[in-house]
């Protein structure tokens, strides 16, 4: 090795290092919150109330040398409230970090560093020439699906439910199909708003077990059932007043016409179809941060859907006429909702396609 002649006394690391420090400190802060959840700290405090630092540490087997700084960090984050040597949960912690809360986000937090998850293996994710297809019988774990459920409760389920209930025939609807429904929260919320509505949640065989857990948790066993199958090859039934698909079609972007045909076949005439997915803007990444764009790409099999005019045309070609397009908030930015109705047999309509759009890289 050739010696390098550098005057170390004159090496300067400027203020620009502060941005790197913030990144590293953010990682450390995440680890503190993650470990607090894993240790059951917030659950213990919810059960026992504000308690002495030493008592909490002993109960959770935390080395006393670290409890003061560990709890101080959580206090600074706004999740513990300290008074003297006593610590308790803040209102935010009780609402977001205690599992019995309907707004619990702990699984979503833990999912960010899940072993072999997309962020854990980011280098592999970035260098793969095509998104990894795990096959029909692999795919989302129960932990990941719980995380998705928590994410969807940040406003997406609520806004999609508003769209459904705003349909003029919603109160008279009797049957709903949620294709690829996973956790089932969209169907559960819809049934809560219409006491006469029954739903079927269709998903992979290894997913529907968790779906049943969510249905039971919300006391909907008598009105919501599950059906295991493959959206490409299996028949989800017919006679549905409403069919929904949320964030499922990214990996089927080349097979949209046959899927829309299956959707139309399952619906009653003049039934409602609601599609909820991310789409590119005219330029990918426009209007959102880089980290949000990357997160969205990772969770949409490498890329959101493109060309919304072709998306609507594929619906129309299979008897589904888009009557409204709107957006709803999601954890990864704006999600686009297409609302369509099934054309009754014998009716003919002329399609007026939207002006071409979609990201430049996909044209």
Q: Is residue 6 part of a domain?
A: no
CATH label of the domain that carries residue 95: 1.10.10.10
Q: Are 173 and 35 contained in the same domain?
A: no
Res 319 pLDDT > 50: yes
Q: Are 170 and 31 contained in the same domain?
A: no
Q: Are 164 and 252 contained in the same domain?
A: yes
Res 356 pLDDT > 50: no
The pLDDT score that the predictor gives to residue 360 is: 41
pLDDT, averaged across the chain: 89
The pLDDT score that the predictor gives to residue 357 is: 40
Q: Are 342 and 195 contained in the same domain?
A: yes
Q: Is residue 122 part of a domain?
A: no
pLDDT in tens, 52-77: 999 999 999 999 999 999 999 999 99
Encoded tokens for 254: 């080349």
Q: Is residue 241 part of a domain?
A: yes
The pLDDT score that the predictor gives to residue 172 is: 98
pLDDT in tens, 250-265: 888 888 999 999 999 9
Q: Are 167 and 293 contained in the same domain?
A: yes
The pLDDT score that the predictor gives to residue 355 is: 40
pLDDT in tens, 206-219: 999 999 999 999 99
Geometric angle at alpha carbon 230, from 226 and 235, rounded to 5° = 75
Q: Do the beta carbons of residue 319 and residue 343 sit within 8 Å?
A: yes
Query: Cα(32)–Cα(106) distance, rounded to whole angstroms?
Result: 13
Q: Provide the pLDDT confidence category of residue 352 given band limits of 50, 70 and 90.
A: very low
> Looking at residues 324-343, what average pLDDT do you find?
90
Q: Are 225 and 96 contained in the same domain?
A: no
DSSP 8-state secondary structure symbol assigned to residue 170: G
Q: Do the beta carbons of residue 51 and residue 80 sit within 8 Å?
A: no
Q: For residue 243, give the nearest of 182, 164, 152, 188 by alpha carbon.
A: 164
> Looking at residues 318-323, what average pLDDT do you find?
95
Q: Are 275 and 342 contained in the same domain?
A: yes
Q: Is residue 229 part of a domain?
A: yes
The pLDDT score that the predictor gives to residue 281 is: 61
Q: Is residue 128 part of a domain?
A: no
Q: Are 153 and 97 contained in the same domain?
A: no
The pLDDT score that the predictor gives to residue 304 is: 76
Contacts with 200 (C-beta within 8 Å, 6 or more apart), sequence order: 175, 176, 177, 178, 224, 225, 226, 227, 236, 237, 240
pLDDT in tens, 294-318: 888 887 766 678 777 788 999 999 9
Q: Is residue 355 part of a domain?
A: yes
Q: Provide the pLDDT confidence category of residue 333 given band limits of 50, 70 and 90.
A: confident
The pLDDT score that the predictor gives to residue 216 is: 98
Which domain range does residue 70 map to?
A: 17-104
Q: Is residue 127 part of a domain?
A: no
DSSP 8-state secondary structure symbol assigned to residue 276: E
Q: Are 227 and 334 contained in the same domain?
A: yes
> Looking at residues 326-332, what average pLDDT do you find?
87
- Greater confidence, 252 or 223? 223
Q: Provide the pLDDT confidence category of residue 358 given band limits of 50, 70 and 90.
A: very low
- Greater confidence, 242 or 142? 242
Domain count, the chain: 2
């Amino acid at each position: 090795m050739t010696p390098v002649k550098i005057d170390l006394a004159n090496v300067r690391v400027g203020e620009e290092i502060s941005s790197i420090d913030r990144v590293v400190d953010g990682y450390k802060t995440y680890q503190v919150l993650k470990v607090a959840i894993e240790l059951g700290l917030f659950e213990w405090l919810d059960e026992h109330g504000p308690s002495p630092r030493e008592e909490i540490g002993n109960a959770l087997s935390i080395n006393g040398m670290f409890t003061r700084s560990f709890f101080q960090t959580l206090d600074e984050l706004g999740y513990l409230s300290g008074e003297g040597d006593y610590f308790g949960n803040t209102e935010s912690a009780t609402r977001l970090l205690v599992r019995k809360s309907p707004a619990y986000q702990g699984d979503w937090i833990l999912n960010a560093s899940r072993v072999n998850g997309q962020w854990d293996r980011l280098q592999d994710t970035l260098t793969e020439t095509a998104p990894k297809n795990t096959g029909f019988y692999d795919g989302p774990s129960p932990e990941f699906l719980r995380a998705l459920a928590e994410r969807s409760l940040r406003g997406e389920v609520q806004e999609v439910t508003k769209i459904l209930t705003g349909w003029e025939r919603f109160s008279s609807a009797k049957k709903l199909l949620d294709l690829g429904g996973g956790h089932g929260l969209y169907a559960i919320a819809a049934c809560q708003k219409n006491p006469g509505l029954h739903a079927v949640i269709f998903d992979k065989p290894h997913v529907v077990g968790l779906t049943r857990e969510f249905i039971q948790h919300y006391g909907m066993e008598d009105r919501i059932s599950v059906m295991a199958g493959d959206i490409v090859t299996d028949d989800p039934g017919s006679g549905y007043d409403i069919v929904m698909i949320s964030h499922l079609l990214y990996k089927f972007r080349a097979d949209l016409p046959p899927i829309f045909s299956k959707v139309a076949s399952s619906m009653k005439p003049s039934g409602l179809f609601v599609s909820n997915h991310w789409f590119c803007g005219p330029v990918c990444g426009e209007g959102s941060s880089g980290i949000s764009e990357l997160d969205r790409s990772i969770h949409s099999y490498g890329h959101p859907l493109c060309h919304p005019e072709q998306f609507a045309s594929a619906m129309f070609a299979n008897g589904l006429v888009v009557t409204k397009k709107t957006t709803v908030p999601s954890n990864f930015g704006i999600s686009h909702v297409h609302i369509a109705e099934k054309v009754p047999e014998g009716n003919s309509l002329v399609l007026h396609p939207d002006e071409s759009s979609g990201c430049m890289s996909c044209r």
